[in-house]
A = this chain, B = another copy of it.
Protein backbone atom coordinates (compact mmCIF):
# COMPACT_ATOMS: atom_id res chain seq x y z
CA UNK A 1 0.00 0.00 0.00
CA UNK A 2 1.23 3.50 -0.66
CA UNK A 3 2.39 5.87 1.98
CA UNK A 4 0.31 8.73 3.31
CA UNK A 5 0.55 11.62 0.86
CA UNK A 6 1.43 15.21 1.53
CA UNK A 7 2.04 14.86 5.22
CA UNK A 8 4.96 16.22 7.17
CA UNK A 9 7.41 13.81 8.71
CA UNK A 10 9.31 14.99 11.73
CA UNK A 11 12.01 13.86 14.10
CA UNK A 12 11.01 12.10 17.26
CA UNK A 13 13.17 12.07 20.35
CA UNK A 14 12.92 11.02 23.94
CA UNK A 15 14.28 12.95 26.92
CA UNK A 16 14.71 11.48 30.37
CA UNK A 17 14.30 13.25 33.69
CA UNK A 18 16.31 11.00 35.98
CA UNK A 19 15.71 11.37 39.69
CA UNK A 20 18.02 10.14 42.41
CA UNK A 21 18.20 10.55 46.17
CA UNK A 22 21.53 10.65 47.98
CA UNK A 23 20.16 10.70 51.50
CA UNK A 24 20.13 14.47 51.67
CA UNK A 25 18.28 15.87 48.73
CA UNK A 26 16.40 14.90 45.64
CA UNK A 27 18.52 15.33 42.55
CA UNK A 28 18.35 14.98 38.81
CA UNK A 29 21.02 13.82 36.43
CA UNK A 30 22.05 16.22 33.68
CA UNK A 31 24.60 15.95 30.91
CA UNK A 32 26.63 18.20 28.71
CA UNK A 33 24.95 18.06 25.36
CA UNK A 34 27.20 16.37 22.85
CA UNK A 35 25.97 17.77 19.56
CA UNK A 36 25.12 21.09 18.00
CA UNK A 37 23.14 23.17 18.52
CA UNK A 38 23.76 24.15 22.13
CA UNK A 39 26.70 21.76 22.30
CA UNK A 40 28.26 21.84 25.75
CA UNK A 41 25.23 23.28 27.48
CA UNK A 42 23.44 21.42 30.26
CA UNK A 43 20.68 19.21 29.01
CA UNK A 44 18.52 16.28 29.89
CA UNK A 45 19.74 12.97 28.56
CA UNK A 46 17.92 12.13 25.37
CA UNK A 47 18.17 10.82 21.88
CA UNK A 48 16.28 10.11 18.72
CA UNK A 49 13.90 7.22 18.40
CA UNK A 50 15.27 4.54 16.10
CA UNK A 51 13.20 3.25 13.18
CA UNK A 52 12.44 -0.07 14.80
CA UNK A 53 11.91 0.84 18.42
CA UNK A 54 9.05 2.22 20.49
CA UNK A 55 9.42 5.39 22.54
CA UNK A 56 9.60 3.27 25.71
CA UNK A 57 12.34 1.17 24.19
CA UNK A 58 14.27 4.26 23.21
CA UNK A 59 14.00 5.67 26.71
CA UNK A 60 15.19 2.41 28.23
CA UNK A 61 18.10 2.26 25.83
CA UNK A 62 19.14 5.82 26.49
CA UNK A 63 18.81 5.42 30.23
CA UNK A 64 21.02 2.37 30.14
CA UNK A 65 23.60 4.08 27.97
CA UNK A 66 23.93 6.85 30.53
CA UNK A 67 23.63 5.01 33.81
CA UNK A 68 24.34 1.40 33.01
CA UNK A 69 21.09 0.52 34.77
CA UNK A 70 18.29 -1.72 33.63
CA UNK A 71 14.94 -2.49 35.17
CA UNK A 72 14.51 0.96 36.63
CA UNK A 73 11.22 2.76 37.09
CA UNK A 74 10.39 4.62 33.90
CA UNK A 75 7.18 6.36 33.03
CA UNK A 76 6.04 8.37 30.07
CA UNK A 77 5.43 11.93 31.20
CA UNK A 78 4.35 14.16 28.35
CA UNK A 79 5.06 14.84 24.71
CA UNK A 80 6.48 18.23 23.93
CA UNK A 81 5.85 19.38 20.42
CA UNK A 82 5.83 23.11 19.87
CA UNK A 83 6.92 23.67 16.28
CA UNK A 84 10.00 25.68 17.19
CA UNK A 85 11.08 23.92 20.37
CA UNK A 86 14.22 22.72 18.59
CA UNK A 87 15.53 25.56 16.42
CA UNK A 88 17.28 23.28 13.94
CA UNK A 89 14.42 21.13 12.87
CA UNK A 90 10.97 20.21 13.99
CA UNK A 91 11.32 17.54 16.66
CA UNK A 92 8.77 15.97 18.94
CA UNK A 93 10.14 14.97 22.29
CA UNK A 94 8.50 12.36 24.43
CA UNK A 95 9.63 13.03 27.98
CA UNK A 96 10.06 10.18 30.44
CA UNK A 97 10.85 10.29 34.07
CA UNK A 98 12.98 7.70 35.77
CA UNK A 99 13.61 6.90 39.41
CA UNK A 100 16.89 5.24 40.22
CA UNK A 101 18.78 4.18 43.28
CA UNK A 102 21.58 6.69 43.07
CA UNK A 103 23.97 4.27 44.73
CA UNK A 104 23.70 1.85 41.84
CA UNK A 105 24.70 4.58 39.45
CA UNK A 106 28.28 4.38 38.23
CA UNK A 107 29.68 7.54 36.85
CA UNK A 108 32.29 5.93 34.68
CA UNK A 109 29.67 4.32 32.45
CA UNK A 110 28.90 7.62 30.90
CA UNK A 111 32.02 9.75 31.03
CA UNK A 112 31.39 10.71 27.47
CA UNK A 113 28.66 13.11 28.58
CA UNK A 114 30.24 14.52 31.75
CA UNK A 115 27.03 13.96 33.64
CA UNK A 116 26.37 15.46 37.03
CA UNK A 117 23.70 15.40 39.70
CA UNK A 118 21.91 18.63 40.57
CA UNK A 119 19.62 19.25 43.54
CA UNK A 120 16.19 20.08 42.24
CA UNK A 121 16.31 23.64 43.49
CA UNK A 122 19.66 24.26 41.81
CA UNK A 123 18.96 23.06 38.29
CA UNK A 124 20.81 25.30 35.82
CA UNK A 125 19.40 26.78 32.68
CA UNK A 126 18.86 23.90 30.27
CA UNK A 127 18.57 23.77 26.52
CA UNK A 128 15.32 24.06 24.61
CA UNK A 129 12.27 23.38 26.79
CA UNK A 130 14.07 21.07 29.17
CA UNK A 131 13.47 23.24 32.22
CA UNK A 132 9.78 22.95 31.53
CA UNK A 133 10.14 19.20 31.35
CA UNK A 134 11.92 19.14 34.69
CA UNK A 135 9.21 21.20 36.32
CA UNK A 136 6.50 18.94 34.99
CA UNK A 137 8.37 15.85 36.14
CA UNK A 138 8.85 17.27 39.60
CA UNK A 139 5.18 18.17 39.87
CA UNK A 140 4.14 14.74 38.72
CA UNK A 141 6.50 13.00 41.10
CA UNK A 142 5.06 14.95 44.00
CA UNK A 143 1.55 14.34 42.88
CA UNK A 144 1.94 10.65 42.31
CA UNK A 145 4.09 9.90 45.32
CA UNK A 146 1.40 11.35 47.56
CA UNK A 147 -0.94 8.64 46.39
CA UNK A 148 1.21 5.68 45.44
CA UNK A 149 4.19 3.84 46.87
CA UNK A 150 6.58 5.26 44.32
CA UNK A 151 9.52 6.66 46.19
CA UNK A 152 10.82 3.25 47.18
CA UNK A 153 12.27 3.17 43.69
CA UNK A 154 14.75 5.78 44.80
CA UNK A 155 16.10 3.74 47.70
CA UNK A 156 18.26 0.63 47.93
CA UNK A 157 16.60 -2.72 48.46
CA UNK A 158 17.20 -2.40 52.19
CA UNK A 159 16.40 0.91 53.80
CA UNK A 160 15.41 2.28 57.18
CA UNK A 161 12.32 4.22 58.17
CA UNK A 162 14.35 7.34 58.96
CA UNK A 163 15.85 7.14 55.46
CA UNK A 164 12.42 6.77 53.93
CA UNK A 165 11.04 9.65 55.92
CA UNK A 166 13.97 11.79 54.96
CA UNK A 167 13.24 11.03 51.32
CA UNK A 168 9.60 12.03 51.66
CA UNK A 169 10.65 15.17 53.45
CA UNK A 170 12.99 16.03 50.60
CA UNK A 171 10.37 15.48 47.97
CA UNK A 172 7.77 17.58 49.75
CA UNK A 173 10.23 20.04 51.23
CA UNK A 174 8.67 19.80 54.64
CA UNK A 175 8.88 17.80 57.86
CA UNK A 176 6.61 15.03 59.09
CA UNK A 177 5.93 13.67 62.54
CA UNK A 178 7.84 10.43 62.70
CA UNK A 179 5.23 8.66 64.80
CA UNK A 180 2.48 9.37 62.32
CA UNK A 181 4.79 8.67 59.42
CA UNK A 182 5.83 5.26 60.61
CA UNK A 183 2.30 4.32 61.57
CA UNK A 184 1.03 5.19 58.11
CA UNK A 185 3.82 3.56 56.20
CA UNK A 186 3.65 0.37 58.21
CA UNK A 187 -0.13 0.23 57.98
CA UNK A 188 0.22 -0.43 54.27
CA UNK A 189 1.80 -3.79 55.17
CA UNK A 190 4.14 -3.14 52.25
CA UNK A 191 7.30 -3.25 54.34
CA UNK A 192 9.00 -6.25 55.89
CA UNK A 193 11.16 -5.60 58.91
CA UNK A 194 14.63 -7.13 58.75
CA UNK A 195 16.68 -8.38 61.67
CA UNK A 196 19.67 -6.20 61.01
CA UNK A 197 20.17 -2.54 61.59
CA UNK A 198 21.81 0.33 59.81
CA UNK A 199 24.25 1.96 62.16
CA UNK A 200 25.32 4.59 59.71
CA UNK A 201 23.50 7.48 61.24
CA UNK A 202 23.07 6.66 64.90
CA UNK A 203 24.62 4.63 67.65
CA UNK A 204 21.42 2.85 68.39
CA UNK A 205 20.92 1.90 64.77
CA UNK A 206 17.71 1.76 62.76
CA UNK A 207 16.12 -1.45 61.57
CA UNK A 208 16.26 -2.17 57.89
CA UNK A 209 13.09 -2.84 55.95
CA UNK A 210 12.50 -4.42 52.57
CA UNK A 211 9.56 -4.08 50.26
CA UNK A 212 7.12 -6.92 50.17
CA UNK A 213 7.51 -7.32 46.43
CA UNK A 214 4.25 -9.15 45.83
CA UNK A 215 2.18 -6.66 47.75
CA UNK A 216 4.07 -3.81 46.18
CA UNK A 217 3.11 -4.85 42.70
CA UNK A 218 -0.45 -5.72 43.64
CA UNK A 219 -1.03 -2.59 45.67
CA UNK A 220 0.72 -0.02 43.60
CA UNK A 221 -2.60 1.53 42.79
CA UNK A 222 -3.47 1.64 46.47
CA UNK A 223 -3.87 5.17 47.61
CA UNK A 224 -1.48 6.07 50.30
CA UNK A 225 -1.94 8.99 52.52
CA UNK A 226 1.55 9.52 53.67
CA UNK A 227 1.33 13.22 53.13
CA UNK A 228 -1.00 15.02 55.48
CA UNK A 229 -2.98 17.65 53.66
CA UNK A 230 -1.75 16.45 50.30
CA UNK A 231 -4.46 18.56 48.74
CA UNK A 232 -2.61 21.67 49.82
CA UNK A 233 0.50 20.82 47.84
Contact = CB atoms under 8 A, between A and B. Distances in A.
Interface of A: 1-4, 7-12, 35-37, 48-56, 76, 78-79, 81-83, 87-92, 94, 221-223, 230-231
Given A11-B9, A12-B12, A48 B79 contact: no
A87 B49 CA distance: 18
A127 to B, nearest CB: 14
Nearest to A223: B231
29 contacts: A1-B37, A1-B87, A2-B88, A4-B11, A4-B91, A7-B48, A8-B11, A8-B12, A8-B48, A8-B51, A9-B9, A9-B10, A9-B11, A10-B10, A10-B12, A10-B49, A12-B12, A49-B81, A51-B83, A51-B90, A54-B82, A54-B83, A55-B79, A76-B78, A79-B79, A92-B92, A92-B94, A221-B231, A222-B231
Chief secondary structure at chain A's binding surface: loop
A38 B210 CA distance: 50
Candidate in A8, A94, A221 with the most chain B CB atoms within 10 angstroms? A8
